[in-house]
Structure 1
Amino acid sequence: MEDLGPVAWGVVVERDRGSLPFALLHGEPLVACAAWAMGEAGIQLLDLTTPWETVRHGGMPLVWHDALCPMAPPDFLAACVRRSVIAGVVVAGVLPVTDTVKEVEESPDGPVVGTTHDRDGLRRLATPLVLPAALVSQLEDWPSADLRVALADLRARHEVELMTAPTAARRVHDAVDVAALEALTGR
């Protein structure tokens, strides 16, 4: 089979995440696990020292993959890129919210627990965030390394489609989460 080259350019975002991206999962740093998944998905890795003008005029979609979601499967990353290319939309990997979400309301006696929100309509951002090539060409600089901020900025100017990620794509926040993800994704 002929190698047609990369399907997209991508960055594994580990900036502003402390040392957690370098914690070990299955004996490898989280950031390495995320990078390998990108490569297996046909996404050519770049780093943030790549001149933005090169990316902007490269004619490729851009994949933002969070190092704190290291086990997002390559087939899911590739599916998000395909959807972005086919539909010309920003694609964000999300997971359903499983926690109870309550609203805190102010009362004369101080804050009180109020309304319970319906979880069915709520999602939490996972990974990846895929920007179609046409949108990349319009941006003046790299998107924010904070995927939530990047998504909010992109939603203001472009259609966004949410794709439900597999459980393995969940975000880790600490060593306990890393251990749980390791158990979930045992070899």
Structure 2
Amino acid sequence: MTTLAILTAAGSGTRLGRDLPKALVELHGFPLVLHAARRLAASGAVDSIVVTAPDGLVGVMADLMAGDPHVGIPVRVTDGGPTRQASVAAGLALARSEDDVVLVHDAARPLVPPELVQRVVSAVRSGHGAVVPGLPVTDTVKQVRPDGDAELVTGTPDRSMLRAVQTPQGFARALLVRAHHTGAERAAAEHLAATDDAGLVEALGEPVHIVPGDAAAFKITTERDLWLASLVLQETTA
């Protein structure tokens, strides 16, 4: 049996303030999506990748992957959807019968360590149907509600019980297919769509397990994040 990684790269990345999709923004001379694909391949735990591309850029993404010697596993590219959930569903539709484990990873997390990918796949193959990497929350978190021109604090969750989740998230393929089928009506609208696939599994009432994440798997959202990623790469290649 094999592991498929769906690499979501269809987002616009408007908060990054560039005139091209976030996945194609370069970090040390290579697009973010290529950094992410290389690390998935380097894990040795992924057998093939499906990339979800921005509208009209399937050919560009396909050429990018095909021309890179560090992505040494089969890669297919498909059109993404209007939301992340819809994009993952499009990638999942290309899963083969032998793909019993599916990872979902964001191109916006380009520096994910291969060891983290291995950890997630291993946990799924050990019998956990849904596995998410996460880090302990270090800041105090407040629960609030609107109250005039400010917000009223309504509670302070115990942060020892909180985790900031990352990707790749890993699933038994049958469970992920069922979760997307059940939640399909949410996929078309951004305000309804699931922000991660674990949320769709949770909506089924199925358990989701956490494995230790990694600080290097942070998400590129702003220009500052891109600058930080550049520093991390400089340190790791020095």
Q: TM-score range, shorter-chain basis? A: 0.7 to 0.9
Structure 2 residue 59 is the aligned partner of structure 1 residue 11: no
The structural deviation recorded for 1:94 is 1.6
Query: What is the aligned-residue RMSD (CA, Å)?
Result: 3.0
| 2:157 corresponds to which of 93, 112, 117 | 117
The structural deviation recorded for 1:84 is 0.4
Q: Deviations over 1:142-186 (max 9, x none)?
A: 986977342211123332111121110111211111111221342
Structure 1 residues 17 and 93, CA, compared in 2 at 3 Å: closer, same or farther?
farther
Q: Deviations over 1:61-102 (max 9, x none)?
A: 111011111111112101211110112321112222223312
Greater relative contact order: 1 or 2 (C-alpha under 8 angstroms, separation 6 or more)?
1
102-111 vs 150-159, which moves further: 102-111
Asked if structure 2 preserves the Cα contact closer than 8 Å seen for 1:64 and 1:128, the reply is yes
Structure 1 residues 112 and 51, CA, compared in 2 at 3 Å: closer, same or farther?
closer
Structure 2 residue 195 is the aligned partner of structure 1 residue 155: no
The structural deviation recorded for 1:60 is 2.3
Tell me the equivalent position of 1:130.
170
TM (norm. structure 1) is 0.80
Structure 1 residues 138 and 117, CA, compared in 2 at 3 Å: closer, same or farther?
closer
Tell me the equivalent position of 1:101.
141
The structural deviation recorded for 1:110 is 6.0
Structure 1 residues 51 and 76, CA, compared in 2 at 3 Å: closer, same or farther?
closer
Tell me the equivalent position of 2:110.
70
Tell me the equivalent position of 1:3.
none
Tell me the number of residue pairs that the alignment of Structure 1 and Structure 2 aligns: 182
Q: Secondary structure at the match of 2:95?
A: helix
Tell me the equivalent position of 1:30.
32
Percent identity of paired positions between Structure 1 and Structure 2: 25
Q: Secondary structure at the match of 1:60?
A: strand
Structure 1 residues 140 and 149, CA, compared in 2 at 3 Å: closer, same or farther?
closer
TM (norm. structure 2) is 0.65
Q: Deviations over 1:115-138 (max 9, x none)?
A: 333322111221111111342464
Tell me the equivalent position of 2:216.
168
Structure 2 residue 36 is the aligned partner of structure 1 residue 41: no
Unaligned runs of 5+ in 1: 1-5
Which residue type is aligned with residue 4 of structure 2?
Answer: W
Unaligned runs of 5+ in 2: 14-20, 53-77, 79-89
12-21 vs 65-74, which moves further: 12-21
Structure 1 residues 51 and 126, CA, compared in 2 at 3 Å: closer, same or farther?
closer
Asked if structure 1 preserves the Cα contact closer than 8 Å seen for 2:179 and 2:200, the reply is no
The structural deviation recorded for 1:106 is 5.6
Q: Secondary structure at the match of 1:101?
A: coil
Q: Deviations over 1:42-64 (max 9, x none)?
A: 31112343785552633421110
